[in-house]
Structure 1
Amino acid sequence: MTAFTFTIADTPTPQVAEPGRKLFAGETDFLKGVVAMDGMPPADRIEVCFAGRSNVGKSSLINAVTGRKALARTSNTPGRTQEINFFTLADSHYLVDLPGYGFAEAPVAVVQKWQRLLKAYLSGRQTLRRAFVLIDARHGIKPVDEEILNLLNSSAVTFQVVLTKVDKLKKGQLDKTVAQVSAALQKHPAAFPELVLTSSEKGDGIPTLRQIIAELV
């Protein structure tokens, strides 16, 4: 197997960041929560989704990248988000918030239903350009993350790892996490070979994430 070299995405210059800034300066609104494939909105625009284990900071990151403090609901209760939530970004994109996985305080049957819906969504959306998989920088990739990574591989969906809460670590600790994540991703051919380091609290990596989304076609 050919080893991929994973790099850290650069912070864009103001000029390079401008398309992302302009895109996210527009309206971002909640469209609908979906619990079955027949409830999906038309696949008529570029779509990106955000996935992550429960309490990885997904809602906080979505709020930070859109510049809306309460667009995505945050909760201290793992597994609260039980729907695939669609948000409209300008007139050109959908941002999609996938249910948190792992530690879900829900009956097994409910979790299995989420998983079936997730598989159907990832396999069935032709306009899905990239999945952003959020990994807590304090913990790195855990076994519970492997299931979603394998699912993205089998669905042939390009995914990009976004490390959250990087402000909680010293540089040496962060370097170890980056090395661990890079090594774990070697066996996932659908992984985009660039990591995004973010802090929703400090704003780190937010212009980078906006630029990446704006450049997807």
Structure 2
Amino acid sequence: MTVRKETGNDAKSKKLLFKQNITFSLGVTRIEDLPEETSAEVAFFGRSNVGKSSLLNSITNKNKLAYTSKNPGRTRELNFFSLSQNSKTLINIVDMPGYGFAKASKDQIKKWTKLSDAYLKNRKNLRRVFLLIDSRRKIMPIDDEIMDVMDDHAVSYQIVLTKADKILKVENLAELVLKEVEKRKAIFPKILITSSKSKFGIDDIREEIASLIN
């Protein structure tokens, strides 16, 4: 397994791809309301307040595509965004509800958990889940639980370290994370290092997404 660092290779083509039309398609609160699987999908998942919305906005070059907040748990449904070219959807990007602490009732959190689990287990066109880990907090027990679910159901996932600008030796951290997860069954063997603030690693995620387009 390797740590993926931004190299600049093909960066221009990836930026051009993500200058295509990216729009919000729909928000889903019930599994039966999921859209028909006509295009490939990737999903972004992580603890509440891991920096998911900021990362999505950086990837898509849109400051307000995903709502950002200082309060964790603002994403409360499966939000679908379509990357299109010439009116054809190339791939859907799915913003999943954050797990962990959120300002919501136990019943509401249970509902989100059930929705997320059902999506992960049953979505056939889901090419990869980008599992976001806060560089400052490393892998936590709840992250391990999520990885267990994806391992058990053969859902391909890739770890993305966020907020890399907040720590000094993020590459050393990435190596430690690799040792923790290298024996997991469904993990994609590259760890991405990112910072929404400095834009470091953003083109690397774009490249991974582009590689999954049908």
TM-score, normalised to structure 1's length?
0.91
Question: How far apart are the structure 1 equivalents of 2:145 and 2:55?
Answer: 22
Q: 1:155-188 CA distances to partner (integer Å, 9 max, x unpaired)?
A: 21110000001111112xx244213311221342
1:87 matches 2:62: no
Structure 1 residues 1-217: aligned runs within 5 Å: 6-14=1-9, 16-90=10-84, 91-171=89-169, 174-216=170-212, 217=214
Residues 215 and 12 from structure 1, CA distance in 2 versus in 1: closer, same or farther, beyond 3 angstroms?
farther
Q: 1:80-116 CA distances to partner (integer Å, 9 max, x unpaired)?
A: 2110100011121100000000012222221111111
Question: How far apart are the structure 1 equivalents of 2:42 and 2:147?
Answer: 16
Question: How far apart are the structure 2 equivalents of 1:75 and 1:151?
Answer: 28
Q: Greater shift after overlay, 43-52 or 103-112?
A: 103-112
Question: How far apart are the structure 2 equivalents of 1:192 and 1:41?
Answer: 26
Moved over 3 A (4+): none
Q: Secondary structure at the match of 2:25?
A: strand
Q: Secondary structure at the match of 1:141?
A: coil
The one-letter code sitting in structure 2 at the alignment partner of 1:153 is D
Residues 19 and 214 of structure 1 are in contact (CA less than 8 Å); yes or no, is this contact kept in structure 2?
no
- Cα displacement (A) at 1:60: 0.1
Residues 135 and 173 of structure 2 are in contact (CA less than 8 Å); yes or no, is this contact kept in structure 1?
yes
TM-score, normalised to structure 2's length?
0.93
Residues 8 and 203 of structure 2 are in contact (CA less than 8 Å); yes or no, is this contact kept in structure 1?
no
Q: How many residues align?
A: 209
Residues 136 and 163 of structure 1 are in contact (CA less than 8 Å); yes or no, is this contact kept in structure 2?
yes
Question: How far apart are the structure 1 equivalents of 2:64 and 2:140?
Answer: 28
Question: How far apart are the structure 1 equivalents of 2:176 and 2:106?
Answer: 31
- Cα displacement (A) at 1:18: 4.1
Question: How far apart are the structure 2 equivalents of 1:28 and 1:53?
Answer: 24
Q: Percent of aligned pairs with the same residue?
A: 43
Two-structure CA RMSD over aligned residues (Å): 1.4
Residues 138 and 177 of structure 1 are in contact (CA less than 8 Å); yes or no, is this contact kept in structure 2?
no
- Cα displacement (A) at 1:77: 1.3
Residues 159 and 190 of structure 1 are in contact (CA less than 8 Å); yes or no, is this contact kept in structure 2?
yes
Question: How far apart are the structure 2 equivalents of 1:96 and 1:52?
Answer: 12
Q: Which runs of 5+ in 1 are unaligned?
A: 1-5
Residues 158 and 191 of structure 1 are in contact (CA less than 8 Å); yes or no, is this contact kept in structure 2?
yes
1:3 aligns with none
Q: Secondary structure at the match of 2:59?
A: helix
Q: 1:31-83 CA distances to partner (integer Å, 9 max, x unpaired)?
A: 11100112111110010000010100000000000000010001111112110
Residues 51 and 98 of structure 1 are in contact (CA less than 8 Å); yes or no, is this contact kept in structure 2?
yes
The one-letter code sitting in structure 1 at the alignment partner of 2:19 is A
Q: Secondary structure at the match of 2:92?
A: strand
